[in-house]
Amino acid sequence: MATPVQPAELYRHGLRLLLDKDIAAWVDLWDDEGVFEFPFAPDGWPRRLEGKAAVRDYMRDYPDHIDLHDFPDVQIHQTDAPETIVVEMRGVGLLVRSNAPFDMSYIAVVSVTNGRITHYRDYWNPLALTQGGAADFAGKKR
């Protein structure tokens, strides 16, 4: 099956790749100059990644920290800009080091051009780190 090019379908395809722990294929959904932003990142964590190589470096060890099992609630909203979607979702699984439950709600604003992610703003909850998950994420700080 070919990689979808429409933002909503591409995003859902990306979620499947994350569940399959196929980080390389997920990163391949990105434009070479894509930007990944984390507006609520705590001090010491990246707030902006520029380029596919930076996204690859950041996500490379993701399955070593979070064992995703499902995205049970995914709502994708189309915006007035056809290339941009707003996603409300929840990811669940386990934190690998502690085997503690992982349950995170996200809002993402994602833009896709020519079938590739060009801009992704990830509004995740940094308070989850203070609720027992900080050790599991220690390797993600850069």
- The arithmetic mean of pLDDT across residues 100-118, rounded, is 95
Tell me the pLDDT tens digit for each residue of 63-100.
Answer: 999 999 999 999 999 999 999 999 999 999 999 999 99
- Single-letter residue type at 41: A
User: Where in the chain are the domains?
Assistant: 7-140
Tell me the pLDDT tens digit for each residue of 8-48.
Answer: 999 999 999 999 999 999 999 999 999 999 999 988 889 99
- Candidates 125, 94, 98, 91; CA nearest to 14 is 91
Using the predicted structure, report yes or no on whether residue 126 has a pLDDT greater than 90: no
Using the predicted structure, report yes or no on whether residue 139 has a pLDDT greater than 50: no
Name the token pair of 90.
């929840």
Fold of 7-140: Nuclear Transport Factor 2; Chain: A, (3.10.450)
The residues that bridge with 141 in the sheet, in sequence order, are none
